[in-house]
């Protein structure tokens, strides 16, 4: 809901949500020509806009934006101005060629890399000066007035004659390329790094060697660029993307690449230059009698490896989607239809609402089927007589009781939803096995959650949680639970400057004029300073950070902005190499003094990006190879130890991706890997995918309370772990104000008496679940020091004792390297599911240590966000809080622990964002789309599938990159070609098409909203 205020000229002056007692108003002022002069967000300092005439006389006008500015604040202050202004400057009509051009971008120049959409205009954006000691603000807003060298820190956007962005040049001169067809579909994308590789003129060196390996060193730069681009082909009407081809790169063949007549086959296991090639088939089975309400739907996807001069693709993977063509909705998703035929089915009612979701092994009438009911405005009963909630979900639960579970509880929970006046879930009740857990959420008048209470259920009670919001800006100010309060403090530029975790740590953050982090401090105490040296990298990327205890980390980056090297304290350097698809293929740590390799990991990949072979050295060499089934699940791991013996692990899965068997065989030293003499461990499951190994016990909500080993687990009422007991050891966790597992004690049982042996507390610098430092004892702490790439690079005490954490490509900590040379170096290795190998010593951060996934538990289980993970079985010990986040409620990562991550125990919003928009940081996707949008998509994954969710994010991302004008006039891709049926009302047609695009009511209906554009389009068709 929004209110608007206008001035006497009819111009918008203010907008706000009237439901709040203290309105959060966004305010606008205008210049004499009616252009926006200032924009003031609630609780923040104003943006000021300056206009004028610049650029080519043919296109120049007085309404061109020249700069946008905002006052700077004194570092660390919430509101004190420092007397300077951060000004972003726009320069128009940047020369495309000649002496004053920052980049040579004429038609002849861009033809060198095969660019067909020729730039005809360019605009540069100069960021603010980073500090008062530098001033490279352009002296003119017209490009022809500036020298080529003036664009050092500018990002330049090149557009074609249709105004479409065809090139972006970063401040360091790295240029990306995008091509379009006549309908505006993107048909070519060339990264900056691949463009530079294609233009290589040298006949020796690393780039030439790479071109030679790709078999394109002898090709023209134009041909190379085409092969290194991502290409798409559309149908003649522009509505169907028929095929996609990724960049040429080296991949390991999983099957024979067949040659044509007179050619040479490439056998399985060969590393060969290929492109990932996807072919889409549309509308198979679509009726032609006029009953179909949708068209142009992808029904078969085949993805494989394309190689130049070979007649057909190899390593094909196939999936199909079936539709209810009348309702316009997908009903079946089948993976490997001619082989494994893993099928998930969704059914809908007459209104197109999902009412049944069937797992692959379910017959549609058992516990493997989930059913939903919806509220009705009439009638009697739980879901009837609620016109205010009509068509909203009432219940979600199993179709039947659990079978095959022995003496364990026989029911899965059924959830019942109740809503507030704004449609927010106010009360969610989960009932199973005569136990009910109720979550009640109260919202303020603006629909923001203020209190959450969980009552009933099984386990230790969880204190209520209360949230408050800043009355000036509306941002979250505090969260209180369990007698602890987490607070957020923001400055008047909307940046968080202080975070108090409620448990004894306050982290403060200071920023530079560009809004980049300049310094952080915490209560450990410690200080980290950050540097952005434009002489080393003009893109404004972080070039170094200095930790007050661990020392200095310094980085260099590749053409696409990825970390290339990181200099570490103590005289060590990490080097990272990526292939043409941006997949990491090597991660090597060397000692600077003599270039000795102290740890390394190299990887080979299949055409679809899965790791198929790796070799790592952490003082001794280990190699592994991996084989996957047609659904992408890990089927075999051949693990060659440093002594030359090979252990083969063969995995078998059912259609729900439950591991049904693990066969393990070890060869003699020096012998090839073998399956002979394998020892097989078999696993069985009930109809709810619960492991039924003898001794395994579950509670009413499907949480494992006793493992086959005899270890027992207790839980909080909200499913977080409370206790673990193994033999004579017990561990108990406590929650902080944010509901995190922030403190724990360990105890030992001696003759029936439990005695505390340790007490530790995590301290956080943000809302994440990775602690910045840990109180180990009354005077001892451990600090977790993040490197420039965001991973755990070092651990230190409060005043020294730094130990570097060297990690492999997967993110496992394989070497702990003390800077004190008198201390021993510790090496470790882990198998694909995280089990320690070679008698590796227990450590807090090992498998996935770079992400601070802790195995500091009495059983060795890993704390993965909201769930415990058991590496022995490759399963979580409680159900996924996001139904549909993986293949079933317990298994890890769809059966692929090598290439997939589930770091927080659920289908994380960030993981979805990163997965959906390749080559863009997950954070950028979140910023563009918003957490609420992504969370809403995640909530629907169970019904519509992960592929639907990925497609949905991709669609929204593309839409987010369009200008307001474009959005207002452009029809979304999913609606192109749609028509109203003769008997359809416009509202019904819009609703049908919106659902096809992955949207669900209620729809946002603003002027540039997707709903409005679809409605406008259908009203004309």
SS (H, E, C) 792-834: EEEEECCCCCCEEEEECCCCCEEEEEECCCCCCCEECEECCCC
For residue 912, the model assigns a pLDDT of: 44
When mean pLDDT is compared across 164-178, 455-469, 565-579, 922-936, the lowest value belongs to 922-936
In the chain, pLDDT over 70 holds for what percent of residues?
Answer: 89
> Could you say which DSSP state residue 958 is in?
H
**pLDDT for the residue numbered 133:** 67
pLDDT at 990 over 80: no
Q: Looking at residues 86-111, what average pLDDT do you find?
A: 97
In DSSP terms, 850 is beta-bridged to: none
Helices marked H in 755-794 — which ranges?
none
What is the DSSP track for 505-528? -EEEEEE-TTS-EEEEEETTTEEE
Please say which residue of 172, 193, 222 terminates a domain.
172
pLDDT higher than threshold 60 for residue 981? no
> pLDDT tens-digit profile of 198-241?
999 999 999 999 999 999 999 999 999 999 999 999 999 999 99
Who has greater pLDDT, 966 or 812?
Answer: 812
Report DSSP state, residue 266: B
Q: Which of 38-52, 180-194, 1003-1017 has the lowest mean pLDDT?
A: 1003-1017
Is pLDDT of 965 > 50?
Answer: no
The answer to whether residue 957 sits within a structural domain is: yes
Give a yes or no: residue 110 inside a domain: yes
- Helix axis angle, 922-929 to 931-939, nearest 10°: 100
Q: Is 420 exposed, middle or buried (0-12, 13-18, 19+ CB in 10 A)?
A: middle
Of 275, 276, 899, residue with least CA distance to 584? 899
Q: What is the rounded distance in angstroms from the CA atom of residue 724 to the CA atom of residue 854?
A: 14
Q: Judge whether residue 520 has pLDDT over 50.
A: yes
- CA–CA distances in Å: residue 820 to residues 504, 645, 800: 30, 34, 10
Q: At residue 588, does pLDDT exceed 90?
A: yes
User: 213 in helix, strand or coil?
Assistant: helix
Contact assessment for residue 794 and residue 549, using Cβ atoms and an 8 Å cutoff: no
- pLDDT score for 969: 46
332-368 tens-digit pLDDT: 999 999 999 999 999 999 998 989 999 999 999 999 9
Cα–Cα distances (Å) from 850 to 785, 871, 911, in that order, read 10, 17, 16
Instruction: Determine, yes or no, domain membership for 402.
Output: no
Q: Does the structure show a pLDDT above 50 at 486?
A: yes
Is 99 part of a structural domain of the chain? yes
Per-residue pLDDT band at 1021 (split at 50, 70, 90): low
Q: Which of 259, 249, 847 is nearest to 604 (CA)?
A: 249
How many Å apart are CA 521 and CA 559, to the nearest integer? 32
CA angle 966, 968, 970 (to 5 degrees): 60
What is the model's pLDDT at position 920?
42
Does residue 626 carry a pLDDT above 90? yes
SS3 at position 683: coil
| Per-residue model confidence (pLDDT) at position 999 | 65
Q: Give the pLDDT confidence score for residue 926 in this predicted structure.
A: 41
Q: Rounded mean pLDDT of 155-182?
A: 95
Predicted confidence (pLDDT) per residue in 821-864, tens digit: 999 999 999 999 999 998 888 899 999 999 999 999 999 999 99
In this predicted model, what pLDDT tens digit does every residue of 722-781 receive, in sequence order? Answer: 999 999 999 999 999 999 999 999 999 999 999 999 999 999 999 989 999 999 988 899
**Is 565 a residue whose pLDDT tops 70?**
yes
Query: Is residue 632 a part of any domain in this protein?
Result: no
Question: Looking at the domain assignment, is residue 643 inside a domain?
Answer: no
Residue 882, burial from CB neighbour count under 10 angstroms (0-12, 13-18, 19+):
buried
For 322, list phi and psi in degrees, rounded to 5. -105, 150
Question: Where a domain ends, among 149, 172, 195?
Answer: 172
User: Percent of the chain at pLDDT above 90?
Assistant: 82
The answer to whether the beta carbons of residues 126 and 137 sit under 8 Å apart is yes
Judged against a pLDDT cut of 50, whether residue 614 lies above it is answered with: yes
pLDDT tens digits, 291-325: 999 999 999 999 999 999 999 999 999 999 999 99
Indicate if the pLDDT at residue 179 is higher than 80.
yes
* pLDDT computed for residue 447 by the predictor: 86
329-343, 699-713, 734-748, 945-959: least confidently modelled range: 945-959
Helix (H) or strand (E) holding 194: helix 192-198
Give the containing element (helix H, strand E) for 235.
none
Task: Give the confidence band of 132 by pLDDT, cuts at 50, 70, 90.
Answer: low
Peptide bond into 525 cis (omega under 30): yes
Hey, what are 44's tokens?
């923040």
- Cβ count near 281 (within 10 Å): 13
Please say whether the beta carbons of 862 and 834 come within 8 A. yes
In this prediction the pTM is 0.90
pLDDT in tens, 871-891: 999 999 999 988 888 899 999
pLDDT in tens, 776-824: 988 899 999 999 999 999 999 999 999 999 999 999 999 999 999 999 9
Per-residue pLDDT, 438: 98
Pairing of strands 517-522, 526-531: antiparallel
Residue with token string 């959060």:
24
The range of the structural domain enclosing residue 961 comes to 916-1020
Q: How many domains does the chain have?
A: 2
**Residue 264 included in any domain:** no
Last residue of a domain, one of 172, 202, 231: 172
Q: Is residue 293 part of a domain?
A: no
Report pLDDT for 919. 41
d(CA 79, CA 73): 6
For the ranges 49-63, 170-184, 548-562, 566-580, which has the lowest average pLDDT? 49-63
């Amino acid at each position: 809901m929004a209110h608007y205020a206008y001035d006497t000229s009819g111009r918008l002056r203010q907008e706000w949500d009237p439901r709040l007692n203290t309105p959060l108003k966004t305010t606008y002022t205008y210049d004499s020509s009616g252009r926006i002069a200032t924009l003031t967000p609630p609780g923040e300092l104003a943006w000021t806009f300056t206009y004028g005439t610049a650029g080519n006389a043919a296109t120049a006008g007085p309404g061109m934006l020249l700069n946008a500015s905002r006052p700077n604040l004194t570092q660390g202050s919430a509101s004190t101005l420092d007397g300077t202004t951060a000004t972003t400057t726009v320069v128009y009509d940047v020369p495309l060629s000649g002496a004053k051009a920052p980049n040579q971008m004429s038609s002849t120049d861009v033809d060198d890399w095969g660019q067909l959409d020729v730039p005809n205009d360019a605009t540069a954006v100069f960021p603010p000066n980073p500090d008062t000691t530098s001033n490279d603000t352009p002296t003119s807003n017209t490009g022809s007035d500036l020298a080529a060298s003036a664009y050092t820190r500018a990002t330049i956007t090149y557009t074609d004659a249709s105004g479409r962005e065809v090139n972006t040049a970063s401040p360091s001169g790295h240029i990306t390329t995008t091509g379009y067809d006549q309908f505006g579909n993107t048909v070519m994308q060339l990264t900056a790094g691949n463009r530079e590789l294609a233009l290589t003129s040298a006949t020796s060196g690393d780039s030439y060697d790479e071109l030679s390996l790709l078999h394109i060193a002898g090709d023209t730069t134009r041909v190379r660029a085409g092969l290194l681009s991502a290409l798409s082909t559309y149908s003649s009407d522009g509505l169907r993307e028929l095929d996609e081809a990724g960049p040429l790169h080296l991949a390991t063949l999983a099957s024979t690449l067949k040659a044509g007549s007179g050619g040479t086959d490439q056998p399985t296991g060969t590393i060969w230059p290929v492109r990932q090639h996807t072919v889409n088939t549309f509308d198979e089975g679509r009726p032609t009698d006029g009953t179909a309400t949708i068209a142009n739907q992808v029904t078969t996807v085949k993805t494989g490896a394309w190689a130049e001069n070979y007649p057909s693709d190899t390593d094909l993977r196939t999936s199909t989607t079936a539709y209810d063509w009348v309702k316009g909705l997908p009903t079946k998703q089948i993976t490997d239809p001619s082989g494994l035929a893993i099928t998930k089915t969704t059914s809908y009612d007459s209104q197109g609402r999902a009412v049944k979701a069937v797992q692959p092994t379910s017959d549609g009438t058992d516990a493997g089927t989930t059913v939903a009911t919806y509220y009705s405005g009439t009638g009697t009963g739980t879901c009837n007589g609620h016109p205010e909630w009509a068509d909203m979900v009432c219940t979600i639960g199993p179709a039947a009781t659990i079978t095959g579970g022995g003496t364990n509880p026989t029911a899965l929970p059924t959830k019942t939803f109740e809503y507030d006046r704004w449609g927010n879930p106010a009360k969610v009740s989960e009932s199973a096995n005569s136990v009910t857990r109720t979550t009640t959420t109260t919202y303020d008048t603006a629909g923001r959650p203020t209190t959450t209470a969980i009552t009933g259920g099984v386990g230790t009670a969880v204190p209520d949680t209360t949230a408050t919001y800043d009355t000036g800006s509306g941002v979250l100010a505090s969260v209180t639970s369990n007698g602890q309060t987490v607070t957020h403090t923001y400055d008047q530029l909307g940046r968080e400057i202080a975070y108090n975790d409620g448990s004894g740590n306050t982290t403060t953050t200071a920023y530079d004029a560009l809004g980049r982090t300049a310094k952080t401090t915490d209560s450990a105490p410690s200080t980290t300073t950050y540097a952005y040296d434009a002489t080393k990298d003009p893109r404004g990327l972080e070039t170094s950070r200095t930790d007050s205890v661990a020392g200095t980390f310094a980085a260099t980056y590749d053409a696409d902005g990825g970390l290339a090297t990181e200099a570490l304290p103590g005289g060590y350097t990490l080097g990272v190499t990526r292939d043409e698809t941006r997949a990491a293929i090597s991660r090597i740590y060397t000692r600077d003094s003599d270039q000795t390799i102290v740890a390394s990991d190299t990887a080979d990949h299949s055409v679809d990006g899965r790791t198929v072979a790796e070799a790592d050295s952490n003082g001794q060499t280990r190699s592994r190879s991996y084989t996957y089934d047609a659904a992408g699940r890990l089927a075999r791991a051949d693990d060659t130890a440093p002594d030359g013996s090979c252990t083969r692990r063969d995995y078998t899965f059912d259609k729900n991706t439950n591991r049904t068997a693990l066969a393990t065989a070890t060869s003699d030293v020096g012998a090839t890997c073998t399956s002979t003499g394998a020892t097989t461990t078999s696993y069985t499951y009930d109809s709810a995918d619960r492991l039924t190994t003898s001794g395994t016990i579950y509670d009413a909500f499907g949480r494992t309370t006793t493992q086959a080993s005899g270890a027992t687990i207790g839980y909080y009422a909200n499913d977080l772990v409370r206790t673990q007991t193994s033999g004579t050891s017990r561990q108990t966790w406590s929650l902080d104000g944010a509901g995190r597992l922030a403190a724990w004690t360990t105890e030992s049982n001696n003759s029936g008496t439990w005695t505390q042996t340790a007490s530790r507390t995590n301290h956080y610098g943000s809302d994440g679940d990775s602690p910045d430092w840990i109180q180990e004892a009354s005077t001892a702490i451990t600090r977790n020091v993040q490197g420039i790439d965001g991973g755990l690079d070092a651990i230190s005490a409060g005043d020294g004792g730094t130990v570097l954490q060297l990690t492999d490509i997967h993110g496992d900590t394989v070497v702990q390297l003390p800077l004190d040379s008198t201390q021993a170096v510790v090496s470790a290795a882990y198998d694909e599911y995280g089990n320690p190998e070679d008698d590796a010593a227990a450590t807090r951060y090992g498998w996935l240590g770079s992400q601070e996934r802790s195995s500091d538990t009495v059983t060795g289980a890993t704390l993965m966000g909201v769930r415990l993970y058991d590496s022995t079985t490759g399963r979580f010990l409680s159900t996924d809080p996001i139904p549909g986040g993986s293949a079933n409620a317990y298994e890890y990562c769809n059966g692929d622990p090598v290439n997939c991550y589930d770091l927080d125990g659920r289908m994380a919003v960030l993981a979805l964002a990163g997965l959906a928009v390749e080559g863009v940081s997950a954070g950028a996707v979140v910023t563009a789309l918003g957490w609420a949008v992504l969370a809403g998509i995640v909530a629907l994954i169970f019904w519509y599938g992960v592929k639907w969710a990925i497609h949905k994010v991709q669609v929204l991302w593309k839409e987010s990159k369009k200008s307001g004008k474009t959005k207002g006039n452009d029809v979304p891709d999913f609606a192109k070609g749609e028509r109203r049926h003769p008997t359809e009302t416009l509202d019904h047609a819009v609703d049908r098409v919106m659902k096809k695009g992955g949207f669900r009511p209620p729809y946002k209906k603003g002027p540039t909203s997707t709903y409005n554009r679809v409605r406008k389009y259908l009203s004309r068709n």
